[in-house]
Structure 1
Amino acid sequence: MNFETLKSIMLLILICFSLLLTVGLWNYQPSLDEREKGSLVEETTIGGKEAQISSLIAPSQFVFHKNGEHYSFKNGKDREDTYEVMKNWTLFNVQPIDNSGVPEEGRMMEVIFPTNIPAQTIKNLFNFGDQNFTPPVGEFKRIFFTFNDNGGVDVFFKPELEDATAFRASLRSENIYKLEELLAADEGLREQTMFTGNGEKRIFLPETPVEVHSHIMDTTTLPITPLKNTLFEDPSIVRNFPAPRAEQRLTDGLGNLEVTEGWKRMIFTELLLGESSSQVAMSSFEVLERSISFINAHQGWTDTFRIGDLSASNTSVTYQMYQKDLPVLASDDDIHTIEVNYQNGEEQRYARPLVRLEPSINESKGNHELPSGKKVIAVIQESRLYNIKLIEDIKIGYKLVEQSGGYGGYSLIPAWFVLENGSWKEITGLTEDKGGLSSAVGSN
């Protein structure tokens, strides 16, 4: 083979390779995943915030016990401010004790939470300085601050169940003066009456009628694409299928995301988790930590939310929306809660609002006078609509009612609610609220 023939063969090979490369480039279409790789990194947040345990756990009420009488803040802002002060207090000598009942001191402060709180969160709610503190295992719903014979303050963390473990701690002496100041104050407090039900309840309600503002709220719709990118393992294979009573149904065969009518709420469900024979147990603290990290991953705290219900037995957590320092306990379109359920250690169901609320620029505040706690107790005891044995709590909250006209706004209306067998419902049969435009105060 001469040199000219060899050059011709090499040239032919190069031409063929070039043609093959050209055809390959013409026919190459990057997959959806590759084309959107950059955007998927960016489009995984819905524009809210990240949150910490200490901001999501907050008391529903402070009760100051003074010689047989009970007082709570008139204004929810005072409750919020006092909680921020309390979180700076330093505890020491935390240890488990028998749950021997409610302290009977004539002068003490009781802090009530909306649900059982994992005892491991004590380290997130208080200071411990340079102590080598190991958080205890257990739960609590109330904290009692009592004075002992030595001039110090004992702190008791009490669960609801009498046979569960309680915890005791001591308060640093430099923080005692603030507790004394809170118990000595009269301004900004409202006297409370205690509802005991069948003798096992401990629910504090205002002695006198309460005035609370109503508000008008506008909404902003949240994007669905970041949620799709976050919740599905491979968003490129997700397809949209029609579904009854839904705006949109996205699925990859393993998970299902449905957007409710009106684009106000979404529910994501993992379809195959229940098929595993092995069950992974989770503590309430694990459910709490895991759910916060899960929602933080897409900056899902789009309004003010706080823990409303936490269940280790159901491996679920519900975060309640708060507006104007009060919980939102009912809403049209069910947009007032974020719920996460776990199965086999994985997120099995995630339900949340797809709107963000903000005060309307056209808002005119109305004033509602709600009946006294004594009136509420009388109605509950006389009505056949309520089972006293199943009542867990009674409080003032807001309901979100969609405004007419279809522009997406809501009225934020105060009302009395009862928590019965795990569900909040508005109390009916009370005196009609009074309208007006006067200055109002907060809740009980």
Structure 2
Amino acid sequence: MKFETLKSIILLILICFSLLLTVGLWNYQPITDEVGKENENLVEETTIGGEEVKMSSLIAPSQFVFHRNGNHYSFEDGKDREETYKIMKNWTLFNIHTVENRVVPEAARMMEVIFPTNIPAQAIKNIFSLGEQDFAPSSGEFKRIFFSINENGGVDVFFKPESEDAIAYGASLRSENIYQLEELIATTEGVNKQVMFTGDGDKRIFLPSNSVEVSWHILDTTTIPIVPLKNTLFEDPSIVKDIPAPRVEQRLTDSLSNLEVMEGGRRMVFSELLSKPSPQTAMSSYEVLEKSISFINAHQGWTDTFRIGELSTANTSITYHMYQKHLPVLASEGNIHTIMVDYQNGLEKRYARPLVRLEPSINKSEGPYSLSSGNKIIALINESRKYNIKLIEDIEIGYKLVKQSGGYGGYSLIPRWFILENGSWKEVEESFVHEGGMTGAMGTN
């Protein structure tokens, strides 16, 4: 064989080999492409389909009380309370200052705004417009705001704390907002006369003097997926394992944290098992409030209407209560009516929330409930051995969620009287009188 012919054959072989390598490269899909797709899905699945909200919508009054010449009035319908709060948030305050006198004002015309828990004074700027005043207090709190019309026609504003040790603040209301306040205090439509329960003499709890009629409702549920919560709560979701455990439907863990699904898949609790090394960090109530909102916003966790219910600086914890039909839900089977976040050293230590979203039922069932008058509730408290008057913090009408019978999956939303005693809401079972057909709708208690 001639040398030239041999070179031609070798060249042809090399060309064929090159073509085979080219075709192979074209058809090759590296494993990293699949990993990339998994990572993309991981990034996408970190929200649970709720909303992101601002602090001003989570801080809301539980009651407006209008004082006129020694008589007290409050709204019949919670919707009017919410509309009034929208009006109030557009008011402008000025001359905010600390005050020493903590005595409740005794003005002939006054509006009292009551919140369900102590609110940090730093949140005043999240509720009102402050004009050009730079207000950044380091401490202080309030549970009531008094708007008193003084003898000169101006309005004195007093932010009253529950604790005698907390810093209290006063302010004035801009003149352009005074007319709206006067109209609210004078209103006679849509309000009920109130009776004040003083308890041991230190309380100001207002209840309707006559019986109250509130509707019950049926609600359906939609399940909230657990995968986005796993992706957002664990530092590295790829190492999380599903380990069977007693008394829970599912337990996800990475050996440092647990995510447990319970109550038939209707509630979850995420908790840190080991404290991460970090310096001891004290948190103010405002920091707990602000940090918890950002934490829940990060995965769009506001799947129903929630508002602040309890805020504890001592325990660095916060609880948000669900609201339905403009009233708080204060009890539920499976405890699906609250979102709770506990902090330790500035980090989320425990996070508990419902895994269902409540929606109006296609059945559209509802009917009237007649609840006892405030006078009857006060008499019951005074006569009963069940309640310790010194421990009573509040008395309120709210809803109880009761699971529908027969595996339907929905809930009955039933109005009841509740008493807040030593930090816990307790249903006043003796107080309600049922009027209207609701046979079979309530499920089992």
Answer whether contact 1:33 1:235 (CA < 8 A) is retained: no
The residue type paired with residue 73 of structure 2 is Y
Provide the residue aligned with 2:357 in structure 1.
356
Provide the residue aligned with 2:269 in structure 1.
267
- Measure the CA separation in 2 of the matches of 1:33 and 1:300: 28
SS at match of 2:302: coil
SS at match of 1:36: helix
Answer whether contact 2:69 2:108 (CA < 8 A) is retained: yes
SS at match of 1:429: helix
The within-5 A match list for 1:330-349 is 330-349=331-350
CA pair 367-33 structure 1, distance change in 2 beyond 3 A = farther
Provide the residue aligned with 1:414 in structure 2.
415
- Measure the CA separation in 1 of the matches of 2:28 and 2:187: 80
Provide the residue aligned with 1:322 in structure 2.
323
The within-5 A match list for 1:255-334 is 255-273=257-275, 276=277, 278-334=279-335
The residue type paired with residue 393 of structure 1 is D
CA pair 277-36 structure 1, distance change in 2 beyond 3 A = closer
SS at match of 1:320: strand
- Measure the CA separation in 2 of the matches of 1:336 and 1:284: 22
Answer whether contact 2:369 2:433 (CA < 8 A) is retained: no
- Measure the CA separation in 1 of the matches of 2:432 and 2:294: 44
- Measure the CA separation in 1 of the matches of 2:34 and 2:405: 41
Provide the residue aligned with 2:57 in structure 1.
55
Provide the residue aligned with 1:184 in structure 2.
186
The answer to whether structure 1 residue 108 and structure 2 residue 106 are counterparts is no
Provide the residue aligned with 1:73 in structure 2.
75
Per-residue deviation at 1:428? 2.6
Answer whether contact 1:395 1:416 (CA < 8 A) is retained: yes
CA pair 254-202 structure 1, distance change in 2 beyond 3 A = same
Provide the residue aligned with 1:170 in structure 2.
172
SS at match of 2:405: coil
The residue type paired with residue 398 of structure 1 is Y
Provide the residue aligned with 1:202 in structure 2.
204
Per-residue deviation at 1:365? 1.1
CA pair 224-98 structure 1, distance change in 2 beyond 3 A = same
Provide the residue aligned with 2:218 in structure 1.
216
Provide the residue aligned with 1:243 in structure 2.
245
Per-residue deviation at 1:27? 12
The residue type paired with residue 200 of structure 1 is D
- Measure the CA separation in 1 of the matches of 2:220 and 2:278: 46
| Number of residue-to-residue matches in the alignment | 426
- Measure the CA separation in 2 of the matches of 1:55 and 1:33: 40
Per-residue deviation at 1:163? 3.2
Per-residue deviation at 1:99? 4.3
The within-5 A match list for 1:36-55 is 36-55=38-57
Per-residue deviation at 1:385? 1.1
Per-residue deviation at 1:213? 0.2
Per-residue deviation at 1:100? 2.2
- Measure the CA separation in 1 of the matches of 2:281 and 2:432: 49
Per-residue deviation at 1:31? 10
- Measure the CA separation in 2 of the matches of 1:42 and 1:224: 14
- Measure the CA separation in 1 of the matches of 2:347 and 2:69: 50
- Measure the CA separation in 2 of the matches of 1:192 and 1:147: 21
Provide the residue aligned with 1:252 in structure 2.
254
Q: Render the CA deviation track for 1:373-430: whole Å, top value 9, x for unaligned.
A: 1111111111111111111100000000000121210000000000111111101322
- Measure the CA separation in 2 of the matches of 1:114 and 1:335: 19
332-341 vs 375-384, which moves further? 375-384
Provide the residue aligned with 1:389 in structure 2.
390
Answer whether contact 1:281 1:345 (CA < 8 A) is retained: yes
Percent sequence identity over matched residues? 69
CA pair 99-243 structure 1, distance change in 2 beyond 3 A = farther
- Measure the CA separation in 2 of the matches of 1:239 and 1:136: 43
TM-score scaled by structure 2? 0.90
Structure number with greater CO (CA < 8 Å, separation at least 6) is: 1
Answer whether contact 1:59 1:113 (CA < 8 A) is retained: yes
Answer whether contact 2:240 2:252 (CA < 8 A) is retained: yes
